[in-house]
Homo-oligomer: A and B are copies of this chain.
């Protein structure tokens, strides 16, 4: 499937409401439950998504447009959210994610990208040359990776509770390849 900027923006616009509907007002055993030591709960995932909005997608898009391949992106800190989330409630994180996503999509639209811009290249510190369209597609698939993870982590809390049905529920067989 070819990259489409309007379709990608359309998808990215929906994620905050989807996560809000899925998580808000749920009990802590679901929102704070994880899959064991050093794994993430839905609360942790929300913090990570906010951190990525702040430090990854739009800052890297600007790097590509401004510096091309001459300056590598700053490495992304996968644990960068831990301090920022401390003391916050899940509701605060959901609100914050909706706000930063909306601001970032506003910035993306304001860049007024033309088809030829999407092929411009930047320098990833580990992956090497990447294009702007690859970065923006990754933004969308990163949302999906964490939705995939969230659904698995939430299902895990009920893995015993479903009794003999566990064999029919594929999400309970998924290993943690998306954390």
Instruction: Report A's interface with B, CB cutoff 8 A.
Output: 1-4, 7, 10-11, 14-27, 29-30, 33, 124, 127-128, 130-131, 133-135, 137-138, 140-142, 144-145, 147-149, 151-152, 154-155, 157-165, 167, 169-174, 176-179
Among A19, A33, A154, the one with the most B-chain Cβ atoms within 10 Å of its Cβ is: A154
In whole Å, how far is A154's beta carbon from the nearest beta carbon of chain B? 6
Whether the Cβ atoms of A164 and B25 lie closer than 8 Å is: no
Evaluate whether A158 and B137 lie within 8 angstroms (CB atoms) in the complex, with A18-B18, A170-B145 already known.
Answer: yes
Whether the Cβ atoms of A14 and B22 lie closer than 8 Å is: yes
Q: How many copies does the complex hold?
A: 2
Which residue of chain B is the closest to A143 with respect to CB atoms? Answer: B151
In whole Å, how far is A3's beta carbon from the nearest beta carbon of chain B? 5
Whether the Cβ atoms of A163 and B177 lie closer than 8 Å is: no
- CB within 8 A of A155: which of B144, B155, B177? B144
Whether the Cβ atoms of B124 and A164 lie closer than 8 Å is: yes
Evaluate whether A130 and B17 lie within 8 angstroms (CB atoms) in the complex, with A27-B7, A179-B170 already known.
Answer: no
Evaluate whether A30 and B3 lie within 8 angstroms (CB atoms) in the complex, with A21-B21, A137-B158, A161-B133 already known.
Answer: no
Whether the Cβ atoms of B18 and A160 lie closer than 8 Å is: no
